Amino acid sequence: MTDLPASVRIREVGPRDGFQNEPEVIPTDEKLRLIGMLARSGLRRLEVTSFVRADVIPQLADAEEVLSRVERVDGVAYSVLIPNERGLERALDHRERFDEVNLFLSASETHNRRNVNRSIDESLAGLERVIERAGAEELRREGVISTSFGCPYEGEVPVERVLEIADRLATAGCEEVAFGDTTGMANPRQVGEFFDAARERLVGVELTAHFHNTRGQGLANVLAAMEAGVESFEAAFGELGGCPVPPGSTGNISTEDLVSMLEEMGVATGVELPRLIEASRAAQELLGRPLGAHVLRAGPVDWTGTA
C-alpha cells in the first residue's frame, strides 16, 4: 500500500452541515451543549454555524447567538460558513469569537444557481471581496467547492473546471480549499486521480476532502484521497446532515466512522473516540433517531489517547 500520513486533520462540520439539513430546528442550548462535547473530544477544527439568511435556512437562524455563546476550548479553531459579504458583516460583529471562515460555491453552474441563485463567476467575484476582507481581519480562509466530483443536474464536472475555481480561490488568498462530494457521486479511483492533479496544480494550499456517504463509498474515498497525499478531512458526527439541493441527498461521512477507521489503520486523529461517540449519541437522542449502525459499530475500541 502507498504510504499513508502519520496523522490527519479533521474538521467537524456537523453543527453546520448537519444541523442545517435536519428537518427539526434544534434549540440553541442543545446546539451549544453538543458543540461543547465535540470541542472536548479532541477535535481541533469545528465549524459551528453559518451566516446564511434566516428565512432561507431557519435551522441556523440562531447563528449570532450560537457564535456569541459558544464555549471556546483552547486549541480548537472555530469556523463559520459565510455565503457572501453581508454574511461576513454579520459574523464580524463577533470577530473575537471565531478563527476561520469557510466560503462556498459550486463547481457546476446549475447547482450553484439553485443553491445561491448566482452564476459561478458572480459567486467568485463576490467571494474574492469576502476573502480580502476576511484576510484583513486576520481570519484563516477556506474555500469550499461543492459538486467537485459530479453534479446531480449536470453529471460529470470536468476536473479542469474544478481546479480552475480552486486556483482562483487560492490566488485570492484562501489558505485551504475543500472539495465537496455534495451528493456522494465520487468513486475511489476518481478521487485518487483528482487529488493527484490538485496537488500538482495547487502547490502550498491545504487540500481538504469533504465526502458524503450517499452510495456507501465515503470511507473508500477517504482512503483514496490519503493515498494521493490528502491530510485534511471534513465529516459530521452522528452522520447528520446532507444537502438540501437536491432534496433527499443523504449525509456526510460520519466523524466516528472516519476516526475509527483512521486510528485502526495507525493514522492519528487526536480524537478520543468514546467522547465523540457520546456526542453522536446525544445528538441522535435529541433528534429521536434510532442509533445508527455507525455509532453502534464504532465501539468499543481499545483507546489510548491523543496525538
Q: Does 17 bind Zn ion (CB under 5 A)?
A: yes
Min separation Cβ 190 and Zn ion, Å: 18
Q: Does 123 bind Zn ion (CB under 5 A)?
A: no
Stretch that binds Zn ion, among 32-40, 146-154, 168-176, 245-253 (CB under 5 A): 245-253
The active-site residue, picked from 224, 243, 262, 298, is 243
* Closer of 183 and 284 to Zn ion (Cβ): 183
Quick count: other Cβ atoms within 10 Å of Cβ 201? 17
* Closer of 50 and 260 to Zn ion (Cβ): 50
- The β-bridge partners of 212 are 252
- 213, 252, 255, 284: which one contacts Zn ion (CB under 5 A)? 252
Q: How many CA atoms lie within 13 A of 177 on its CB side?
A: 28
* Closer of 94 and 184 to Zn ion (Cβ): 184
The whole-angstrom distance between residue 207's C-alpha and the CA centroid of its chain comes to: 12
Give alpha helix (H) positions in the chain: 19-21, 28-39, 63-69, 85-92, 109-116, 120-136, 159-172, 188-201, 218-227, 255-264, 273-287, 293-298
* Closer of 140 and 212 to Zn ion (Cβ): 212
Q: Cell for 176?
A: 485551504
Stretch that binds Zn ion, among 171-179, 217-225, 252-260, 269-277 (CB under 5 A): 252-260
DSSP string spanning 52-98? --TTT-GGGTTHHHHHHHPPPPTTPEEEEEE-SHHHHHHHHTTGGG-
* Closer of 17 and 47 to Zn ion (Cβ): 17
Stretch that binds Zn ion, among 11-19, 77-85, 104-112, 191-199 (CB under 5 A): 11-19
Min separation Cβ 93 and Zn ion, Å: 26
Stretch that binds Zn ion, among 16-24, 65-73, 129-137, 160-168 (CB under 5 A): 16-24
Active site residue 174: no
Q: Cell for 60?
A: 441556523
The Cα 11–Cα 262 span in angstroms is 14
Q: Does 257 bind Zn ion (CB under 5 A)?
A: no
Q: What are phi and psi of 258, to 5 degrees?
A: -60, -50
User: Judged by CB under 5 A, how many residues of this single chain contact Zn ion?
Assistant: 2
- List active site positions: 243
Give contact residues for Zn ion (rule: CB under 5 A): 17, 252
